[in-house]
Structure 1
């Protein structure tokens, strides 16, 4: 992450896209957007104890996965940019 990107604001298009993603994800697993925000915040707090992360660029996804013959179950995926491991 460059220093110039630190102060860059997201465009309204990017914000709307992020909100739509959250809405679609929450609809898939019957999880409210508020609950998704709480999950994201909690994950960021825990990981921040051990390393410096870019919480604003963090992405959380909940998808339904499964194997043959099994029902699909929700799975949580997190993409968390790590800035520094030695906090």
Structure 2
């Protein structure tokens, strides 16, 4: 779902959602990463990044994709504006 779709409140079709879920299941199976391991990686990413920047945990997205013979871990992590006086 793109930026404009979210902004305008458009919802993806049920077929598109089902296709995306199936692709996600296939990538998880082929990568050998369990959902628990992905959740642990997410928690560790939050811990490390939080040492340096303030992140928006609620909007953080981690996904696995497959393309051109390789699996990819994609992390979309929104960063909040820095607070005055924050030091790493």
In 2: Cα distance, 1:37 partner to 1:61 partner: 11
- Residues 1-80 of structure 1 aligned to structure 2 (within 5 Å): 24=25, 26-66=28-68, 72-80=69-77
Q: How many residues align?
A: 62
* Structure 1 residues 34-87: Cα deviation after superposition (integer angstroms, max 9, x where no partner): 001001111111111111001122100111122xxxxx1111111111112454
Structure number with greater Rg is 2
Cα separation, partners in 2 of 1:83 and 1:29, compared to 1, 3 Å: same
| Residue 28 (structure 1) shift | 4.4
Gaps in structure 1 of 5+ consecutive residues: 1-19, 67-71
Q: Which runs of 4+ in 1 moved over 6 A?
A: none
Larger strand proportion of the pair: 1
Q: Could you tell me the TM-score, scaled by structure 2's length? A: 0.58
Gaps in structure 2 of 5+ consecutive residues: 1-20
Cα separation, partners in 2 of 1:85 and 1:76, compared to 1, 3 Å: farther
Q: Could you tell me the TM-score, scaled by structure 1's length? A: 0.58
In 2: Cα distance, 1:78 partner to 1:56 partner: 13
